Structure 1
Amino acid sequence: MAVFPPAAAREDLLGRLPAGARFARPSKWHITLAFLGQVEDFRTAEVAEALAAAPRPPAFRLRLAGAGRFGAVIWTGVGGDVQALGELRESVRVALDGAGFTIDTRPFRPHLTVSYRTERGLSAALEGYAGPEWPVTGIALVESLLGNYHTLHEWPLPPGGQ
């Protein structure tokens, strides 16, 4: 389950990265709400049903901001209404857990992975970064297949505080 920044937010981030740097494809840039790993095809409908029933907060605004690392992974953080994002994540977690799908129990640290390898200059280029705000209007259930993401289902957030 993920939130995908709009093209304008991805383009702004891309413009901040140093020329020649190696990074994940911008089309794959997202904020993970829950990672399930391998799910049998016949259980995908169960995941979708659980997520469809999950309460969702009204639409809210986020921005990509700052930088950090998890080992070799370089990421940009998330600013804006991170409380609403956390509530959305918790709702997704509870719905999936109730349907028998356990997700990572580590504390939620919203971020967007820019690169999966230590890349000279990326962290420095992202230090102090604050991208444009954008409305979060929905979430997506995504499948990774041969290195590409395919959206299986999308759910809108109710109109509101964007």
Structure 2
Amino acid sequence: MNATSLRLFFALRCPTELAERIAQWRDALGLHGHPVPPANLHLTLAFLGQQPSVRLAELGSLAATLKAAPFDLRLDTLVRRRNGLLYLAPSEPPAALQELAEQLHQALRTAGFGLEERPFLAHLTLMRRCTTRPPAANPSFDWSVGHFALLASETSPRGSVYQQIAEWPLLRFR
């Protein structure tokens, strides 16, 4: 990994056991494309792109100030976009997820980090360049979310590898 800059994003990392179940379910659909490895399954909260590594401490301090409650997330909608992106999404995103994303985006913008202007879309990417239409499916994957993380993405000949930089708990505040 380049010591002077890193490709960074904040995300909810899919728990290992759930990621394995989701990957098995996806693989059983028999679709063609580039599947995301189970270890890389996540829901992006904020994509930062290439950032100087000297800003890691600032990002850690910023994340530690967020006051967000844990929540339950149900991934129950399968979507394939025209560009071949296949993902799971919640039909009803929890208010706590939206609040976490909004709080994080606001804090990042205030700190001078440039973010994409498109609205937050809660989704977990399953496959890229999916060339086949998925069959009608009724997925239902439940996830108790209790923390969020800062990840670095490194591209290798075998694809992207995500390294967790730090993690913060979601806590109930009164």
TM bucket (normalised to shorter chain) is: 0.7 to 0.9
Corresponding position: 1:61 with 2:72:
yes
**From 142, 146, 153, the counterpart of 1:144:** 153
- TM-score, scaled to structure 1: 0.86
- Kindly report which structure 2 residues correspond to 1:5-44, keeping only aligned pairs within 5 A, or say none: 5-19=14-28, 21=31, 22-44=34-56
Preserved contact between residue 77 and residue 139 of structure 2 (Cα < 8 Å): yes
Corresponding position: 1:156 with 2:165:
no
1:55 is paired with a residue whose SS is coil
Alpha carbons of structure 1 residues 39 and 151: separation in structure 2 relative to 1, 3 Å: same
Paired position in structure 2 for 1:130: 140
Uncovered stretches (5+) of structure 1, i.e. residues with no partner? none
Flag the structure with higher strand content.
2
Q: Please tell me the root mean square deviation across aligned C-alpha atoms, in Å.
A: 2.0
Corresponding position: 1:92 with 2:101:
no
Preserved contact between residue 74 and residue 118 of structure 1 (Cα < 8 Å): yes
1:2 is paired with a residue whose SS is strand
Q: What residue identity is the alignment partner of 2:163?
A: H
Partners of 1:45 and 1:159 lie apart in 2 by 24
Give per-residue Cα distances to partners, 1:45-86, cap 9 Å, x unaligned: 222221112222x21111222111332111111256521100
Preserved contact between residue 48 and residue 153 of structure 1 (Cα < 8 Å): yes
The range that moved more, 102-111 or 31-40, is: 102-111
* Number of residue equivalences: 156
Aligned-residue offset at 1:92: 0.5
Preserved contact between residue 59 and residue 138 of structure 1 (Cα < 8 Å): yes
Corresponding position: 1:49 with 2:61:
yes
Aligned-residue offset at 1:119: 3.6
2:48 is paired with a residue whose SS is coil
- TM-score, scaled to structure 2: 0.81
2:75 is paired with a residue whose SS is strand
Flag the structure with higher helix content.
1
